[in-house]
Amino acid sequence: MTNQDLLAVAKEFGSPVYVYDAEKIAFQYNRLKNAFSEVKDLRIHYAVKALSNISILKFLNSMGCGLDTVSVQEVMLGLKAGVDPKDIIYTPNGVSLEEIEEVVELGAQINIDNLSILEQFGAKHPEVPVCIRINPHILAGGNAKISVGHVDSKFGISIHQMPLLLRIVENTGMNINGIHMHTGSDILDIEVFLRASEILFDSAKNFKNLEFLDFGSGFKVPYTEGDIETDIEELGEKLTHRFHDFCKDYGRELTLVFEPGKFLVSEAGKFLAKVNVIKQTTSTVFAGVDTGFNHLIRPMFYGSHHDIHNISNPEGKQRFYSVVGYICETDTFANNRRIAEITEGDILAFSNAGAYSFSMASNFNSRFRPAEVLWYKDKAHLIRERETFEDLLRHQVIIDLGPPASE
């Protein structure tokens, strides 16, 4: 997508607006497939939580991609998108046994990450195949806010609880068909990920009827020009070799599974916002835009960096701006960032807005959630309408209580 394409999208659909490049999503999907081309049975399950628009799910599924889901609602979205339930993995955290049983009825693969639910589920449904999510206690990324493999993480069953886990499986007679791990996001060091993989392999030896090993994801994408990213090709070469050795020792070929979310959609997304006002103080020039953390919370929530480009004046003189939102809270997207000179009415494009942007959006300050657009075959396709005031009222029950009774 060119700047002119993006400006045309903003003109047609208004701002703020999310725009996703289908070609980039396909490129990332095929890049991961090619890195593991020597694996006989590779399955890629897209992490729905990153971007759950049904059109995106349908597009990925058209290329052969399954889904990784964390709620019964995400499972239902996948089914609505036409995904075969056998291609959906359900990996919740902290949900009730009743929700897991709902998903069983829908036909998705169950992945359980705590001993209490594992025992309850095994006692009631020993015939249902279950994957187990382990916590390897290895951090593959550097950001504590997005790492889930640390010792105090709420995710996964600790590898140190393996004896108890095995006792539960033996007592219930349940069918364990997969082992899963996830170490968190922004993997920088391939060797750290490979060490975590060895823990997964060691855990898998305890189960005789496995069908797949799920290595999660967490691959780092570049957030700015020259930024480091996970070397997928190196990982593919090294992990493929080790996976083949394990399967040989295990006695049969298993399926290798990945669950990328951000890796597939982050770089494909642009978030376009219009500059409402330029405000200069004694020390700072603010560019106030028609959005806030209600639409893009990652900079405030995770401290994440998003490149910001003035696509209305890309060749303008570089000046320093603090880009802030219109929310009645502190919602600073960037402090003293070098951006081509901005004037009121310009359109700013935020990069890496494909993952955890719309999916974490809200109606804070009673603002509408933006439209979503898919750029596919050099054409903009509306895949979600902008909300209206009627949407804000849709589920409210308005009652007239009158004034309080006087004493």
Active site residues: 328
DSSP codes of every residue in 13-42: H-SSEEEEEHHHHHHHHHHHHHHTTT-SSE
How many whole angstroms separate alpha carbon 295 and alpha carbon 389?
17
Cβ atoms 272, 348 nearer than 8 A:
yes
Enter the tokens of residue 310: 């003035």
Q: Which parts of 274-326 fold into alpha helices (H)?
A: 298-301
Cα 87 to Cα 43: distance, rounded to the nearest angstrom: 9
Q: Whole-angstrom distance between the N-terminal and C-terminal Cα of the chain?
A: 66
Q: Are 333 and 349 spatial neighbours (Cβ–Cβ below 8 Å)?
A: no
Alpha helices in 205-281 (DSSP H): 232-250, 262-265
Distance between CA 8 and CA 256 in Å, rounded? 42
Question: Distance between CA 290 and CA 312 in Å, rounded?
Answer: 15
Tell which phi-psi region holds residue 287, choosing left (phi > 0), alpha (psi between -120 and 50) or beta.
Answer: beta
Tokens of residue 378, six digits: 């050099």
- The secondary structure element, H or E, covering residue 197 is helix 190-204
Nearest 5°: phi and psi at 253?
Answer: -75, 130
DSSP annotation of 403: S
